[in-house]
A and B are shown apart, each in its own frame.
Chain A
């Protein structure tokens, strides 16, 4: 990834925060917030695939939804092609939505059960006014072809398809409006492993074909390894490490990343690996730990970690980590 520096930044997220208010027991208690995403910044270059990984509840999906403004972020800035999209009005946002698309996790919930595939694709094109009416039929057949579905699929309802096929319909719907950036929110997590591979390969093919940029949200490290150029690891609403895929998998710097990577099963019983097993549970995002959020579970935590929040620092080319002792631990 030596060329990263010259690459065009397509999406830039700065100090993004997403707090959700929670109901308190008493009227007099101060309002509490779930700090789902707490001050994260990153960039996404044109044509690349950046994966966000982390455990359940670390804020991966929330980040994706905030960028799409499906939930309005609490604070921060999101620049798309240099424009601050959080200040876009309804009309501007609607226009932008054609370029920013999303593929969802659950192929059974992401398609309206009362619309045929034809109606689903047609509506996408109609909302964004991307294709003139008489040409839409041809375009629909073309889209089905891209995602590997037969033309007969057009007049069927979603329940007549399998999970993998539905996911293909979801991808066709996203492609229908000629997007540049697609956020894949756990796009293959609900599928069988064999189908996962098919869909991942399809996504890769489409990326090459149309020069798409992917923000790939997943908890599955093998999937991430397969598809990403760069990987961002999140823990409890914070970014702990961002690096090129190879760097991250070969030489992780953050203790959390190390623990996460050591949980990938290796299909060879002869190989003895060092397993890092974390103690305890993920703390509550309502009242996250002070200092480094990982200090309650980190095997190397010191007094400093409890008091001081580590900044995201660059150690090595394009390898960012937020740990006070990353250098020490690397040795």
Chain B
């Protein structure tokens, strides 16, 4: 009830959480534009999305067509990135592979954030024993290293890209749950939540209409950063032979295939590796830029 303390606290909360539309959106975009690294990240992401959407039009060859007479050709005017041990064009395979990697990344993060957001909102809003049960369960999941948890899930479900998506999504759940719970706790104490409660709104309305829209910024930041991890993990699992199976043009699988020719034909592994690194880098720096843009301390 001490006046100064309360208002000060609430101002801080307000700045970090609530970003009303319009003018605030402009502010946000202008800060994001100023951040050169974030812009580069954004351009990289847009570039990959473009590739994934138009892969059939861009690819010069069929990514699956085996032409043994063309095997292990170094990069040339015909095959910009060379060919692999079965004579398939690596450029075409990478272009098609972007669909798989981006698809797995987005699906895994959507899956992880969906459950994470619901758990976090419920735990944060209801508190008490509900909170304890949900968050202890999340702690148990966090206690496993992510990739180990994913391995465990895949060994239970069997290999395959679908199961990789589920596994990668599952280990993202607790991260989203934690962030959402924390933000929910902050927003829950604000007076507009009391105001809407005193009007007699039910819990679902309060949670989804009044709390959720006001905690979007940390979720978006986390989602972007998580995409990088998800893509990397999915490629890693495919590299280990647990995800996409050959002849699928998945980058991790291609990398694994190129491993045998590292000295004789390094380009087989080099280009898929570069494709993964650049995309992951793009998501990471864009995510960092978003976080800075959402941070009130960056505003003048």
Contact = CB atoms under 8 A, between A and B. Distances in A.
Nearest to B10: A109
Interface in B1-21: 1-3, 6-7, 10-11, 13-14, 18-21
Contacts of A108: 10-11, 14
A102 B198 CA distance: 7
A127 B199 contact: yes
Contacts of A189: 3
Contacts of B7: 106, 190
A139 B89 CA distance: 68
A111 interface: yes
Contact of B200 (A105, A128, A190): A128
A97 B200 contact: yes
A128 B199 contact: yes
A173 B3 contact: no
Nearest to A170: B195
A93 B198 CA distance: 10
Contacts of A110: 190-192, 194-195
Q: Give the dominant DSSP class at B's interface.
A: helix
Interface residues of A, number: 40
A34 B196 CA distance: 27
Contact of B191 (A95, A106, A124, A219): A106
Contact of A101 (B2, B190, B198, B210): B198
A177 interface: yes
Q: Give the dominant DSSP class at A's interface.
A: loop
Contacts of B2: 56-57
Contacts of B3: 56, 105, 186, 189-190, 219
B197 interface: yes
B36 interface: no
A290 B221 CA distance: 53
Nearest to B2: A56
Contacts, number: 94
A114 interface: yes
A226 interface: no
Q: Among A97, A105, A109, A219, find the residue whose CB has the most chain B CB atoms closer than 10 A.
A: A109
Interface in B121-153: none
Interface string B187-208: 0001110111111110001000
A19 interface: no
Contacts of A105: 3, 6, 191
A257 interface: no
Contacts of A95: 200
Q: Among B14, B22, B195, find the residue whose CB has the most chain A CB atoms closer than 10 A.
A: B195
A199 interface: no
A114 B7 CA distance: 20
Interface string B213-255: 1100000000000000000000000000000000000000000
A114 B190 contact: no
A79 interface: no
Contacts of A104: 191, 194-195
B22 A157 contact: yes
A93 B200 contact: yes
A123 interface: yes
Contact of B20 (A113, A170, A186): A113
Interface string A158-169: 110000000000
Given A56-B2, A94-B200, A158 B20 contact: yes
A213 interface: no
21 contacts: A94-B200, A95-B200, A106-B191, A109-B191, A111-B195, A112-B192, A112-B196, A114-B20, A114-B21, A114-B213, A123-B201, A124-B199, A127-B200, A127-B201, A128-B200, A157-B22, A159-B24, A173-B195, A177-B199, A186-B3, A190-B7
Please give me the 5 A-B residue pairs with the lowest Cβ-Cβ distance, nearest first.
A97-B200, A113-B18, A94-B200, A110-B191, A104-B191
Interface of A: 56-57, 60-62, 65, 68, 70, 93-95, 97-98, 100-102, 104-106, 108-114, 123-124, 127-128, 157-159, 170, 173, 177, 186, 189-190, 219
Given A70-B194, A108-B10, A127-B199, 19 more contacts: A62-B1, A97-B200, A98-B200, A104-B191, A106-B7, A108-B14, A109-B10, A110-B191, A112-B192, A112-B214, A113-B18, A114-B18, A124-B199, A127-B200, A127-B201, A158-B20, A159-B20, A170-B195, A177-B199
